[in-house]
Chains A and B, each alone.
Chain A
Amino acid sequence: EIVLTQSPDFQSVTPTEKVTITCRASQSIGSNLHWYQQKPDQSPKLLIKYASQSIPWVPSRFSGSGSGTDFTLTIDSLEAEDAATYYCHQSSSLPRTFGQGTKLEIK
């Protein structure tokens, strides 16, 4: 089973700040890494697919990069509505796995 480790677990940030969340895989997964945003009491929402491919309805301030074992989700100019927990997820092999999540708090 591929283990995904995110860092940090928690981050408190101010609006307009740039945020970077990392996800490290226990073995190479190519670009088969996706990012989700989950707000309290809501279902997760797909933000980025295949490490860096944007999703049409997602604001352009969200971007992703990386391949192999190291990946990054970047939020440029954070907005208050971005307060949420972010998860990475791999589709390289079964069973599918998720990172433990990174909670973003807006100051």
Chain B
Amino acid sequence: QVQLQQSGPGLVKPSETLSLICTVSGGPLTSTYWNWIRQPAGKGLEWIGRISASGINDYNPSLKSRVTMSVDTVKNQFSLKMKSVIAADTAVYFCAKGGYSGYESWGQGILVTVSS
């Protein structure tokens, strides 16, 4: 089973860009989708979007204007950028592997706080 390790800053200023990376080990970045999901404190899960190994993206319409995802198959990483962040973007961000059959592997989660 693959493992996902997340990295990135835990504090971002309002109006700036949130950037996170998910590094995949134990298998290549192929044949499935790689997802980003977030969870505000004490609340439920929100799907942000996904990217395939070939770089095809699908984003949640509610965030689409601010989100960019990319993939680096050489480094076995995929990344999330969210621009113009506000306090409401404060959440634990997870990366996860999976497509139609559910998300079988998850990163450890990173708390990103938007504050000046």
| Interface residues of A, Cβ cutoff 8 Å to B | 1, 32, 34, 36, 43-46, 49-50, 55, 87, 89, 91, 94-101
By the criterion CB–CB under 8 Å, are A87 and B45 in contact?
yes
Cα distance, A11 to B54, chains bound together (Å): 43
Q: Is the contact region of chain A dominated by helix, strand, or loop, or is it mixed?
A: loop
* Docked complex: B60-116 residues within 8 A CB-CB of A: 60-62, 94, 96, 98-104, 106-109
Q: Is the contact region of chain B dominated by helix, strand, or loop, or is it mixed?
A: loop
User: Is B26 in contact with chain A by the CB < 8 A criterion?
Assistant: no
By the criterion CB–CB under 8 Å, are B108 and A43 in contact?
yes
User: Is B16 in contact with chain A by the CB < 8 A criterion?
Assistant: no
By the criterion CB–CB under 8 Å, are B45 and A32 in contact?
no
Given contacts A95-B49, A98-B47, 6 further A-B contacts (CB under 8 A): A46-B104, A50-B101, A95-B47, A95-B61, A98-B44, A98-B45
Residues of A within 8 A of B98 (CB): 46
24 pairs, CB–CB < 8 Å, chain A vs chain B: A1-B61, A32-B100, A34-B102, A34-B103, A36-B103, A43-B109, A44-B94, A44-B103, A44-B106, A46-B98, A46-B102, A49-B101, A49-B102, A87-B44, A87-B45, A91-B101, A91-B102, A94-B58, A95-B47, A96-B50, A97-B47, A98-B46, A100-B44, A101-B44
Cα distance, A94 to B47, chains bound together (Å): 10
**B94 CB to nearest chain A CB (Å):** 6
Cα distance, A55 to B1, chains bound together (Å): 13
By the criterion CB–CB under 8 Å, are A96 and B94 in contact?
no
Cα distance, A37 to B106, chains bound together (Å): 12
Closest to A49 in B: B102
Cα distance, A100 to B42, chains bound together (Å): 11
Residues of B within 8 A of A46 (CB): 98, 102-104
